[in-house]
Amino acid sequence: MQATIFGQPSAVALGTFDGLHKGHLAVISSAVAFREEGLAPCVLLFDKHPQTVISGRAPAEILTDSLKKKALDKMGVCYFTVPFEDVRNLTAGEFFEDVLLKKMNARAVCCGYDYRFGHDGAGDAVLLKELCTASRIKCSITPAVSFAGEPISSTRIREAIVNGDVENANKMLGRAFSYNFEVAAGEKLGRLLGTPTINQHFPEGFVVPKNGVYISKALVEGSWHAAVTDIGMRPTFDSSELRSETCIMNFSGNLYGQQVEVGLLKYLRPEKKFSSLATLSRQIKLDIQKAAEYFDTVNA
């Protein structure tokens, strides 16, 4: 639900929300709780990561915009997108007054313990609470949400994904690390091996998981299917093109041109160059068998 100018009083969740991890979700949940007081929960989003404007280089994305908005819609919250260029030079007070009060009709504001706002990040959670108190609106500051003894952050999640540790990344996210890129036409080598696959390419600026084979799942026609995903260069075929290649178990159909969501669940093994197609085919069947055993265990 893309919001415009708010007519009814709102409870605004503030943050970068670049990954919608458990820390972000805790802030949004605080805004949702104000629904009982008649306030419309809303998330303030920027059109681009602030670091894109400030330093010219943003951290790698770990969630596509479409999946982010799908998740927010599922939570039943509105989102209000502001061009970061329009607010980057506002003082903390101007941001509070012009954006939160005037544009968003905020009557409650929610943020994380480490939230910064205003030009050069001059404002923090303490100042935000002071501004709210002076304007007689409520303020909820969410403490750190931790995993393995440290606060959850998008940086930690990126590092886990790059290292192939998707299981811990998923624990910090509260869901499977997923992407929903368009299915591209391939060489149909999977069909040759008896295991048809869908090919997807990582866009520039999106985090790329460690090369290798993963137990995964794919959302097709509204249903999740068990899958196996290979991320890398396909060394057996001497390819130099990075791609995500997913074999969707118990499914056959043409998905070219569709945006299929793939979620990575567990790292199985590194990429390897096989001596023959027959050897590769046997390994793929073993990977599929391990994936089937994994899903039998988690669904038991």
**What pLDDT is attached to residue 193?**
47
The average pLDDT across 79-85 equals 92
Give yes or no: residues 19 and 144 share one domain.
yes
The reply to whether 156 falls in a domain is: no
Total number of domains constituting the chain: 2
pLDDT at residue 5 greater than cutoff 70 = no
- Considering the chain, what percentage of its residues have pLDDT values greater than 70? 92
The reply to whether 158 falls in a domain is: no
The average pLDDT across 218-246 equals 86
The average pLDDT across 112-140 equals 96
The reply to whether 164 falls in a domain is: no
CA distance 255 to 26: 36
CA distance 298 to 177: 17
Domain boundary among 101, 135, 151: 151
pLDDT at residue 150 greater than cutoff 70 = yes
Domain boundary among 101, 136, 151: 151
Which of 109, 55, 56 shows the shortest CA–CA distance to 80? 109
Give yes or no: residues 137 and 248 share one domain.
no
CA distance 221 to 89: 45
Residue 252 CB neighbours (<10 A): 6
Q: Looking at per-residue confidence, does 44 or 282 come out higher?
A: 44
Cβ contacts of residue 149 below 8 Å, gap of 6+? Answer: none
Give yes or no: residues 40 and 82 share one domain.
yes
Q: Looking at per-residue confidence, does 228 or 52 come out higher?
A: 228
The average pLDDT across 219-247 equals 85
Backbone φ and ψ of 275, nearest 5°: -75, -20
Give yes or no: residues 140 and 183 share one domain.
no
- Mean confidence (pLDDT) of the chain: 90
pLDDT at residue 113 greater than cutoff 80 = yes
The reply to whether 4 falls in a domain is: no
Beta bridge partners of 13: 43, 110
Q: Supply the residues annotated as catalytic.
A: 245
The average pLDDT across 72-95 equals 94
- Strands 40-46 and 10-13 turn out to be parallel
- Considering the chain, what percentage of its residues have pLDDT values greater than 90? 75
Give yes or no: residues 119 and 249 share one domain.
no
Candidate from 69-78, 192-201, 238-247, 254-263 with smallest mean pLDDT:
192-201
Which domain covers residue 87, as residue numbers?
Answer: 10-151
The reply to whether 5 falls in a domain is: no
The reply to whether 236 falls in a domain is: yes
Give yes or no: residues 99 and 211 share one domain.
no
pLDDT at residue 239 greater than cutoff 80 = no
**What pLDDT is attached to residue 4?**
42
Q: Which pLDDT tens digit goes with each residue over 15-67? A: 999 999 999 999 999 999 999 999 999 999 999 898 888 888 889 999 999 99
pTM for this prediction: 0.91
Give yes or no: residues 15 and 90 share one domain.
yes
Candidate from 6-20, 93-107, 161-175 with smallest mean pLDDT:
6-20
Domain boundary among 118, 151, 184: 151
The edge-to-edge listing of strands for the beta sheet with 243-248 is 177-179, 261-269, 212-220, 223-232, 243-248, 198-200
The reply to whether 162 falls in a domain is: no
pLDDT band at 191 (very low <50, low <70, confident <90, very high): low
The secondary element (H helix, E strand) that includes residue 97 is none
Give yes or no: residues 27 and 135 share one domain.
yes
Collapse the DSSP code of 6 into the 3-class scheme (helix H, G, I; strand E, B; otherwise coil) and give the result: coil
Cβ contacts of residue 47 below 8 Å, gap of 6+? Answer: 81, 82, 83, 84
**What pLDDT is attached to residue 207?**
97
pLDDT band at 86 (very low <50, low <70, confident <90, very high): very high
Dihedral sign for Cα atoms in the order 64, 68, 69, 73: positive
The secondary element (H helix, E strand) that includes residue 22 is helix 22-33
The average pLDDT across 220-237 equals 86
Do 179 and 216 meet the contact criterion of CB atoms below 8 Å apart?
A: no
Do 263 and 217 meet the contact criterion of CB atoms below 8 Å apart?
A: yes
pLDDT at residue 122 greater than cutoff 80 = yes
Give yes or no: residues 16 and 144 share one domain.
yes
CA distance 164 to 159: 9
The reply to whether 227 falls in a domain is: yes
Do 248 and 227 meet the contact criterion of CB atoms below 8 Å apart?
A: yes
Give yes or no: residues 123 and 39 share one domain.
yes
Give yes or no: residues 56 and 22 share one domain.
yes
